[in-house]
Amino acid sequence: MKYKLIALDVDGTLLNDDHSLSPENKEAVAEVTRQGGRVVLCTGRNPKNALPLMEEMGLTGYVLADNGAVTVRVEDQKVIHQYAMDGRGLDPYIQYCRERDIHFDVNTAFELYVDNVEHLTKEAHFMYEHLQLVPASLPAWEEFREPIVKFTVFSTVEIMDEAQREWSTWIQSFNIQRSGEFFIDLMHPEASKGNALKQLAKQLGIRQEEVLSIGNYYNDISMLAFAGLGVAMDNSPLEVKAAADVVTGNNNENGVSKALIKYCLS
């Protein structure tokens, strides 16, 4: 097989719009692994709600979670690498969110914290329930026992657009990624899907030209650019398609399966 390491984004890529895995995508992934390919998930999701998808597909190996800020080995759920953030540097962003009543959460590798768990909005409660995540109330920075790896804000498209414009004028000590229409993520400046994928490929002894990645959004651009073959979904924004080498079908038409069959199994 030409491509030995295949990195798949999850939402908007591997899963369809109702967040389910199609039989076609599942079978294509299984066939790639049967033929010796290593399939990893490279997602903005927390490891807790990415690992069950690996289990559903019968995969071992690795999950590159939180936009590459955390790499977890599936077999024992051990963190093999993470990019730690300075929590105190988040204070201006938290103040911005509190003043505008914008929801945010703070993530460690396996835990998630919100400003006040007792006063979640219906939208936030639904989101965490859907993602099978149970948030806790945000402690003081000095009380964190594990490194902070991601700060996420969640609101309407218009509010996220405004925050992104405002924050782009600030002096930055974080990597700011638009990970969805309703989400903005802040991470360590070196944390990205591309860097995590590069590091994993090196660890596994796989050359850059032997890596294939598939994604659909702005936070996927770094891994599309790193891979020997970067594949954008047809439902991607134009800038994402421009960063890729080729474009496959959309996430509701088994675009992942089509790409794997064409580039890995043919």
What's the pTM value of the predicted model, to 2 decimals?
0.92
The model's pLDDT over 125-183, given as tens digits with 9 standing for 90+, comes to: 788 887 778 899 999 999 999 999 999 999 999 999 999 999 999 988 999 999 889 99
Q: Quickly count: other Cβ atoms within 10 Å of residue 29's Cβ.
A: 23
Which domains are assigned to the chain? 5-82+191-263 (3.40.50.1000), 87-187 (3.30.1240.10)
The model's pLDDT over 105-116, given as tens digits with 9 standing for 90+, comes to: 999 999 999 988
* Dist. CA 70–CA 67, nearest whole Å: 8
Q: Select from 142, 63, 157, 164 the least CA-distant residue to 110.
A: 63
Residue 131 CA neighbour count, 13 Å, CB half: 20
The model's pLDDT over 32-90, given as tens digits with 9 standing for 90+, comes to: 999 999 999 999 999 999 999 999 999 999 999 999 999 999 999 999 999 999 999 99
* Dist. CA 211–CA 200, nearest whole Å: 11
Tokens linked to 111: 């835990």
CB within 8 A of 66, min separation 6: which ones?
44, 45, 46, 47, 107, 109, 149, 150, 185, 187, 191
* Dist. CA 4–CA 11, nearest whole Å: 23
C-alpha distances in Å from residue 54, one per residue of 6, 10, 66, 259: 13, 11, 15, 19
Looking at residue 96, its pLDDT comes to 98
Q: How confident is the model at residue 123 (pLDDT cuts 50, 70, 90)?
A: confident
